[in-house]
Structure 1
Amino acid sequence: MLVLGGATAYHERHNIRRYLLVHQHYTKKDVLATSQIKLNLRPALSTKHTTATNHLTAKYQKQLKALPTGTTHAQTIVNPYQTSPLSGLILVKTPHATKVRLTVHGTTPATTIHQTVSGYRTAHSIGVLGLYANRNNRVTLTFTTKRGTVTHHTYQLKTTKVPHGIGRNTLKTSHPQQMALGQGHTKLTFAVSSQGYTYGLDARGKIRWYSSLKISHVFKELSNHHLLILTKIAPTEHKYNALQETDFYGRVYRQYNFSGLFPTRQDTSKLATNTVIHHDAIELPNHNLLLTVDDGSKKFVEDTMIEIDRQTGKIQKVIDLKRLLPASAYQQYTGTHRPDGKVDWFHQNSMTYDKKRDELVVSGRNQDMIFAINYKTTKLKWILAAPEKLPQSYQKYLLKPTTKNYRYNGGQHAVQLIHQDQHQGDSVELEFYDNNVPVTRGKTAQSKQWSAGEVVTINQLKRTVTKTWEFGQSLGQRNFTNIVGSSYAVGRGNTLIGFGYADSGKRSEFVEVNRKTNRVVFDVDRTHFAHGDWSYRAERLSLYPSDQTLKLTRINP
């Protein structure tokens, strides 16, 4: 009877939820109630993969404990957490407490990776990152005692081929001495997938890391040096509805699952599964996560953000852009069309948080607009966009160009703050990737002739904008990208530009250029990849962002 009663209650709750999803609650025309959005999205913590991580960790702990002492008795494991095929683990015991320096041998000095593990111990679990695919990799550990005695031992870690769908990477230019590779050459150029394989390239354009998980859009380093990725709840799923906190070894610390069951536009009485998080996710100063989402509307997509509690996954804040921008922008939008009939009037593709001012800077492709809001109040601060089709009541927020013949951004991506004036407190440097494909406003004779990485200085007090750098015009139509793309400062005065949708999506190109000289110091073409898996962004991240490699410690889900 208890089982029967429990099953009945479950079905009643299920039916009630479906009813509430179909009969949605609006506060005004086309604007969902905040409570309805929370119901639609309903993130839930999943401990499945964290538990699997802990089981593997316990296994390796036992293996380390059982090992005899001596560097020749070490145990090597490739892909220890099963989703990072070019990672490894070396378990070894030494008779005396030592610190360890790891060397993953590359084909050149610039592709040889070095990392020192802090602390002296006799039982070592050395995580290895940066292996080559389909190779018997040489990895040397250098052991140093507190008295300064040094010994070395080289181990072999054999890896398998990369998946065919990754495609072909062709090196065009490489000047490692001018690249931002980090101490120990631990930084790789990561091709972040739109929907497929995300991987990292070394200075010679060789793959040194990839995830066997399919990843879509989101691949970010968090303040604790973990990774935040958007993947599938199960490999057989069509949609990407699992937001996972992981690392380069594939250990899972947290996972938030989203249902994505929304009304269809053609028949709102029917529900279909959608991808909830679509383009971006960032960590806020309180360590909560801010996500770009579909809010479950029967009519609109990609125009809402939610802040979720990092510990519980519960939604703490909802920002519906229809409440901030002109009603005409979404009610009269005709710039693009979707097969499902829903209206993608804003198409938010990135955001960045200004800690100094508690402001959020947002990019919307289909409005050709970048704007800032006060995060607490969600009040508009400024708008960077051409003035066409913007109602008079919003004109006061527009930034005024100081650059002669200023060309406004069109269909831009990957907005990021790279410098804040600590003295005046009124200027910021903003970088972004300008696709140069106006959708709603700002069309010029130069539109669609090239795409470019750009840097502008914004004076928030005077409400002015000055263009200080751009690169891409000299590459011309060949590197014009109608969609996707990125431009990030990576150190040493360099910017890494990802031309993700070149040649109508048949090619992606990653270019590192010095902003002072405009000299290209790294250039790779990517071709022959699976359809739809163009590189959404190109990022430069370190495989070893801290002084630790891998700790065999249990993760609390």
Structure 2
Amino acid sequence: MNIRQTWLRTITAAALLSVPFGMGWAQLSFVEAPTLTANPTGRVPLAAAIGFSLDQAAESRLSISDGDNSWEAEFDAEVAQDGRYTLPVAGMRPGREHTIVLTVTGADGEQHAETWTHTTPELPANPLEFPDLDIQVSIPERMEPGVTFLSVRRRALGRAHWLTDRQRDFSEDWGMLLALDASGDVIWYYNSDFRTAGIARLSNGNILMHRTDFSTVEIDLLGNVVRQFYAEERPYAPPENPDAIPILGQQTLHHQPHEMPNGDFLAFSANGYLIEDYYSSDSDPDAPRMDQIVMADTVVQFTPEGETVWTWDTYGALDPFRVGYDTFWSYWWVRGFPDYMDWTHANGLSYDTSDDSVLVSLRNQNAIVKVDYETRDIKWILGRHDGWPENLQDKLLTPVGDLLWPGYQHNPRMTHAGTVILFDNRAHGGAMPFEPRLPLPENFSRGVEYEVDEENMTVRQVWTSGDSAHEDACFANAMSDAWRLPVTDNYLVIFAFCLPRMEGITQDSMDETRRSTGDLPYGGRLVEYDGDDIVFRLEAVPYYDLNHWELYGGFRSPDIYHRPDLPMAH
């Protein structure tokens, strides 16, 4: 049987939805002829893979068109593994016929071209399997170029510790990564079998995600698992993946992963400590003290091989008796650690190359801490000044001008302009025990940018998406993301969800006397700002108010494909 006949059988079996034409490859000798396979891993319905083998090094180019949109991707010979090339076909929109042209150029300049037509499936019809995305504003000519990736979660109505087993399965055994173009069209998505958290694009173009089973997973655009790490002492069995790498001695890996310039990873691991005579309430200052197991976060740096090479421990650096609201909520209870208190709740970190330091967000401390990498000393603290021990008083930044301190914030990052940007959730209005919490209608969340003068130890607020609880304000008391984008200086703000700001509703999930925010439906919001102008806005709409849709966080990439030649915020 000749190569042409072999390939015809392969394409018929592996890609029934794809129709090849323009065959013939007299100029290049293929060990395995090109074939196109739709959704090769079963997790990326809008993607496809083109595979072939050659006995020589070759460069490849994909040209893709759906009649309205055209784009290209180029691949060098280094993508081959033992002569086998697998090229991702990505960026295709649902329910459209696409023309895909492969051009392969050998080392001696010989070329081969191959063309397919391929029709992508429609998006899932089940409204509980795919969010209803309401595009309210889209002005592409004023937006940062590129593609927006989002980590999407769903949840059943109700407080986390009151969910039934089936509601918990609905919430935890599902996750989605989603990519949108400037018009809000879906051009790629990945179906996860577990709830996803923070995501990042790596320097190799792959996507790194934390999952709520305390694992960190690297995938490519075809949904292949490239690497997986997990906390060795997590309250679950080891992953089914036999190549998964344990991070030794850690109970958890959580929230936002971060790649360092040398290829290592930064992550959070929370570990329990028994503290005698600890608080038992964040609402009653006279509540009796008791021995408590308190979760304290450690920043962990580990290599691609899973070796821990650097740590910074909040338990040794901060006062565990400085507590915030939500210390006694059920966050860790429903994640396999019953009766563990949530002291720091670290939820975002990044490495600052300008001065070899690490930026750490401690939600339940209402503070962002900058840590010197070499000495592990705290350089500064951005947050309220009350309650800090004497030895940290000189680390507190002094506010200059009109400034609102962050409250229960998320995901701080250094921008290309040298400023700090973060999502300011403002849970409880930024109050600390035992101050009164703001009524729910008076709460709001925002993206905010600060300028820190380290020499004078001052901080100035230089941009915000909004500083008031106006009618259209969005209040997300957890998760969320904010970016200053490098090409346009636009701002991308991801509100994980917009809570119903209704009278008589509490955001204290442990208050059994009133309805809580988690008992009511909500969806997420994505906004891009050009200064104060909104140039893109999307909302994820719950189906008949039956569920929650959460946009945990995300990022803007210059292209669906890896483009290291173009600027990207990290």
State if a TM-score over 0.5 links the two structures.
yes
Q: Which residue of 1 aligns with 2:9?
A: none
Once the two structures are superposed, residues 226-264 of structure 1 have per-residue CA deviations (whole angstroms, 9 ceiling, x without a partner) of 221224xxxxxxx5133222212122222223344469x
Distance 1:219 1:323 in 2: 28
Q: Which residue of 2 aligns with 1:158?
A: 120
Q: How many residues are matched?
A: 447
Once the two structures are superposed, residues 29-80 of structure 1 have per-residue CA deviations (whole angstroms, 9 ceiling, x without a partner) of xxxxxxxxxxxxxxxxxxxxxxxxxxxxxx99xxx9xx96389x95321112
What TM-score results when the alignment is normalised by the length of structure 1? 0.70
Residue 290 (1) aligns with residue 287 (2): no
Distance 2:556 2:406 in 1: 24
Q: Which residue of 2 aligns with 1:202?
A: 181
Distance 1:246 1:519 in 2: 35
Question: How many Å apart are 1:285 and its aligned residue?
Answer: 3.0
Q: Is the 8 A contact 1:169 1:527 kept in 2?
A: yes
Once the two structures are superposed, residues 359-379 of structure 1 have per-residue CA deviations (whole angstroms, 9 ceiling, x without a partner) of 111111111101111122211
- Higher relative CO (CA 8 A, sep ≥ 6), structure 1 or 2? 1
Residue 501 (1) aligns with residue 463 (2): no
SS at 1:394 equivalent = helix
Question: How many Å apart are 1:498 and its aligned residue?
Answer: 0.5
Once the two structures are superposed, residues 399-447 of structure 1 have per-residue CA deviations (whole angstroms, 9 ceiling, x without a partner) of 111113x211111111000035xxxxxxx31001111231428989899
Q: Which residue of 1 aligns with 2:348?
A: 350
SS at 2:462 equivalent = strand
Q: Is the 8 A contact 2:198 2:552 kept in 1?
A: no
Residue 308 (1) aligns with residue 302 (2): yes
Q: 2:482 aligns with which of 469, 482, 487?
A: 487
Q: Which residue of 1 aligns with 2:49?
A: 89
Distance 1:479 1:226 in 2: 32
SS at 2:381 equivalent = strand
Query: Which letter maps to 2:474?
Result: N
Equivalences for residues 320-469 of structure 1 within 5 A: 320-329=313-322, 336-338=328-330, 340-404=338-402, 406-419=403-416, 428-437=418-427, 438-440=430-432, 448-469=442-463
Q: Is the 8 A contact 1:486 1:499 kept in 2?
A: yes
Question: How many Å apart are 1:150 and its aligned residue?
Answer: 11
Query: Which letter maps to 2:137?
Result: T
Change (3 A) 1:210 1:297: farther
Distance 2:145 2:424 in 1: 25
Query: Which letter maps to 1:345?
Result: W
Residue 127 (1) aligns with residue 143 (2): no
Change (3 A) 1:189 1:333: closer
Q: 1:225 aligns with which of 205, 220, 235?
A: 205
Q: Is the 8 A contact 1:202 1:208 kept in 2?
A: yes
Q: Is the 8 A contact 1:89 1:127 kept in 2?
A: yes
SS at 2:271 equivalent = coil
Change (3 A) 1:359 1:97: closer
Q: 1:190 aligns with which of 138, 145, 150?
A: 150
Distance 2:214 2:262 in 1: 24
Q: Is the 8 A contact 1:497 1:510 kept in 2?
A: yes
Q: Is the 8 A contact 2:199 2:553 kept in 1?
A: no
Q: Is the 8 A contact 1:385 1:408 kept in 2?
A: yes
Unaligned runs of 5+ in 2: 1-12, 15-19, 28-32, 155-171, 237-249, 275-292, 501-520, 566-570
Distance 1:149 1:254 in 2: 34
Q: Is the 8 A contact 1:457 1:468 kept in 2?
A: yes
Change (3 A) 1:149 1:341: closer
Change (3 A) 1:147 1:70: closer
Q: Is the 8 A contact 2:540 2:549 kept in 1?
A: no
Query: Which letter maps to 2:408?
Result: G
Query: Which letter maps to 2:228?
Result: Q
Residue 525 (1) aligns with residue 539 (2): yes
Q: Is the 8 A contact 1:366 1:439 kept in 2?
A: no
Q: Is the 8 A contact 2:300 2:310 kept in 1?
A: yes
Q: Which residue of 1 aligns with 2:215?
A: 242
Q: Is the 8 A contact 1:449 1:476 kept in 2?
A: no
Distance 2:302 2:346 in 1: 18
Q: Is the 8 A contact 2:412 2:423 kept in 1?
A: yes
Q: Is the 8 A contact 2:203 2:564 kept in 1?
A: no
What TM-score results when the alignment is normalised by the length of structure 2? 0.69
Unaligned runs of 5+ in 1: 1-58, 232-238, 264-273, 421-427, 549-557
Residue 538 (1) aligns with residue 554 (2): yes
The alignment yields a C-alpha RMSD, in angstroms, of 3.9
Distance 1:373 1:124 in 2: 43
SS at 1:546 equivalent = coil
Higher helix content, 1 or 2: 1
Change (3 A) 1:70 1:446: farther
Residue 181 (1) aligns with residue 136 (2): no
Q: Which residue of 1 aligns with 2:163?
A: none
Change (3 A) 1:302 1:217: farther
Higher deviation after alignment, 206-215 or 193-202? 193-202
Change (3 A) 1:107 1:322: farther
Distance 2:24 2:85 in 1: 12
Change (3 A) 1:167 1:88: same
SS at 1:534 equivalent = strand
Q: Is the 8 A contact 2:149 2:177 kept in 1?
A: no
Query: Which letter maps to 1:210?
Result: Y
Distance 1:536 1:383 in 2: 25
Question: How many Å apart are 1:321 and its aligned residue?
Answer: 0.3
SS at 1:279 equivalent = strand
Change (3 A) 1:511 1:108: farther
Change (3 A) 1:446 1:459: farther
Change (3 A) 1:341 1:107: farther
Once the two structures are superposed, residues 269-290 of structure 1 have per-residue CA deviations (whole angstroms, 9 ceiling, x without a partner) of xxxxx97222122122332222
Q: Is the 8 A contact 2:398 2:459 kept in 1?
A: yes
SS at 2:141 equivalent = helix
Question: How many Å apart are 1:493 and its aligned residue?
Answer: 1.3
Q: Is the 8 A contact 1:192 1:539 kept in 2?
A: no
